[in-house]
Amino acid sequence: MSSSSFRLFQFAAPARFYGLAGALIPWCWAAFAVLAAIGLWMGLFVAPTDATQGDAYRIIFIHVPAAWMSMLLYLVMAFWAAIGWAFNARLASMTARAIAPTGAMFTFLALWTGALWGRPTWGTWWVWDARLTSELILLFLYAGFLSLVSAIDDPRRADRAGALLAIVGSINVPIIYFSVKWWNTLHQGATISATAAPKMASTMLTAMLLMTLAFWAYAFAVVFTRARAIVLERDRHAGWAQASARPARSATATGMQT
Amino acid sequence: MSGPFAAILARDLRLAARRRADALLPIAFFTVAISLFPLGVGPEPQTLRQIAPGVVWVAALLAAMLSVTQLYAGDLADGSLEQMLVASGPGTLDKLGLVLAKAAAHWLVTGLPLVIVAPLFGLMFDMRGEAIASLALTLALGTPVLSLLGGLGAALTLGLRSGAALLILLIVPLCIPALIFGAGAVAAIDAGQSARGHYSLLGAFLIFTALVAPPATAAALRIATE
């Protein structure tokens, strides 16, 4: 397919994207700071203490948004990787690669906060619950994508192989989830369940939504930053990239002299 | 269609027969890996009987993953893979057929022997006859899944440094449903329940994999060789 039909997306040109993303990053950080401050304040001080779990439940305001982001970002990554592969859109592939580490970080954060939450409420750091296990497998899928694209030196091949893996992974995620769920119900009489959450006060829900939006803003800021670095690295021989990198280079040079 | 398919299959089987030590390595790995578990866990028959299905299945999965790394590597090294991919016209095989023939050859060389020797380990782990039969049946249904998915991993990691370790990281998460239903069926039989649901789901996963993995593998081969 010719690239002319994609003129519509004028920011798909790496040079334009570089400028736009650079302009948006401070706003994303600002949105993250404001939303996270309000969300944490509501979650930690306004939301009522839980009757059964005490204050330990308050980690939910990090845990649940992180888990949502981890799953969403995998799909977003697979989507952009597929677009990049199907339409030979370089920027889409670069975006997919920029999303992967953030998605893996959120997956790890969800697992870690889950363990910290499980210790006081369930009395154990880890149970082989369907949700926990699928989240762990999701972390493996992220790790597989990251190591595959970093193992291939040719960026074109790396993008395409990564896209294929991400697509196959996203087809498999529901199968894995349901098989793990069934395995779990067969193997252990689950005395503790992550699904039996108490009814939520509206302040809790608001705080959780605010934290989710904050994580969105964070993800945008970090992904834009990383994508800008990838764009600059891949287009390093292009005139625009050398022109935009020059001030930064001279700044580091003076920084090293002092 | 069956002509070139059979030719590729026969060629791979002949290659395996000429390097018998290589072809026997997965079985040797399987045997050694399984034998480690009683040494590590302890020789109590009750414990062994309980962990046997999982142990045999995990060992089979790892044996398949270790052996599948070489599926396309030799053909890539001597250039025949490229010839097979660009070949067209009557008497040649399209990419899908090639992928299926290679997966079938891998299954016949590694999967089928695992199915045959698994009952022996069932006896060593003090399993009942019914459970042993179920173990062989689930391995017969499940090992083709491992060959198909392993072929995808082999195509994705073709010619890469540390491709073998990478393949395990990429493909093992995708094989988890086969492990769950395979080992689950045997555990269900052991517990005196019906394993029909497990067999059906394992069969469904095999059909699904047979539909999805070969086109993905063909695409991966194209990506790796262009």
Q: What is the pLDDT of residue A239?
A: 76
Half-sphere exposure in the Cβ direction for A2 (13 Å, CA): 3
Instruction: Quote the CA–CA distance of A23 and B51 in Å, as a whole number.
Output: 58
Helix (H, G, I), strand (E, B) or coil at B126: coil
Q: Tell me: pLDDT of B170 over 60.
A: yes
Are A88 and A3 within 8 A, CB to CB? Answer: yes
pLDDT of chain A, 258 residues: tens digit per residue? 444 444 556 667 888 888 888 899 999 999 999 999 999 998 888 887 777 777 778 888 899 899 889 999 999 999 999 999 998 888 999 999 999 999 999 999 999 998 888 888 878 888 887 778 888 999 999 999 999 999 998 988 999 999 999 999 998 888 887 877 777 665 544 444 445 555 567 888 888 899 999 999 999 999 999 999 998 888 888 777 777 766 655 545 444 443
pLDDT tens-digit readout, B1-10: 458 888 889 9
Biggest distance spanned by C-alpha atoms of chain A:
66
Find the closest chain B residue to A170 by CA distance.
Answer: B174
**Beta-carbon separation of B160 and A152 below 8 A:** yes
**Beta-carbon separation of A168 and B181 below 8 A:** no
**Beta-carbon separation of B224 and A161 below 8 A:** yes
Please give, rounded to a whole number of angstroms, the shortest distance from the CA of A216 to a CA of chain B.
27
**Chain B residues within 8 A of A157 when measuring between CB atoms:** 223-224, 226
Query: What is the 3 state secondary structure string of A42-73?
Result: HHHHHCCCECCCEHHHHHHHHHHHHHHHHHHH
Find the closest chain B residue to A162 by CA distance.
Answer: B156
Residue B41, token pair as written in the block: 């866990």
**Chain A residues within 8 A of B161 when measuring between CB atoms:** 151
Select from A133, A149, A150, A183 the residue whose CB has the most chain B CBs within 10 Å, as the one to mutate to test that interface.
Answer: A183
Domain ranges across chain B = 2-225
Half-sphere exposure in the Cβ direction for A38 (13 Å, CA): 14
Quickly tell me which residue has 């079938």 as its tokens.
Answer: B104
Calculate what percentage of chain B has a pLDDT beyond 70. Answer: 99
**Chain A residues within 8 A of B152 when measuring between CB atoms:** 168
Please give, rounded to a whole number of angstroms, the shortest distance from the CA of B20 to a CA of chain A.
31
Q: What is the pLDDT of residue B4?
A: 84
For residue B172, name the pLDDT band (cuts at 50, 70, 90): very high
pLDDT tens-digit readout, B61-99: 999 998 898 889 888 888 888 888 887 777 777 888 899
pTM summary value: 0.86
Are B189 and B131 within 8 A, CB to CB? Answer: yes
**Which of these, A77, A228, A69, A102, lies nearest to A159 by C-alpha position?**
A77
Residue A32, token pair as written in the block: 């993250």
pLDDT tens-digit readout, A84-120: 999 888 899 999 999 999 999 999 999 999 888 888 8
**Beta-carbon separation of B173 and A171 below 8 A:** no
Find the closest chain B residue to A185 by CA distance.
Answer: B184
Quickly tell me which residue has 């090992």 as its tokens.
Answer: B143
**Chain B residues within 8 A of A171 when measuring between CB atoms:** 212
Q: Which of B172, B177, B223 sits opposite A160 (nearest CB)?
A: B223
Q: What is the pLDDT of residue A253?
A: 46
Are B65 and B168 within 8 A, CB to CB? Answer: yes
In this complex, how many residue pairs, one in chain A and one in chain B, have their CB atoms less than 8 Å apart?
Answer: 73
pLDDT tens-digit readout, B196-219: 889 999 999 999 999 999 999 999
Find the closest chain A residue to B163 by CA distance.
Answer: A151
Residue B22, token pair as written in the block: 């290589």
Q: What number is the ipTM of this complex?
A: 0.87
Are B72 and B155 within 8 A, CB to CB? Answer: yes
Quickly tell me which residue has 């050398």 as its tokens.
Answer: A242
Q: What is the pLDDT of residue A191?
A: 43
Residue A235 vs residues A90, A145, A240, B70: alpha-carbon distances, Å: 11, 23, 8, 36
Please check whether residue A172 touches B, CB under 8 A: yes
Please give, rounded to a whole number of angstroms, the shortest distance from the CA of A145 to a CA of chain B.
7
**Chain A residues within 8 A of B180 when measuring between CB atoms:** 179-180, 182-183
pLDDT tens-digit readout, A33-50: 999 999 999 888 888 777
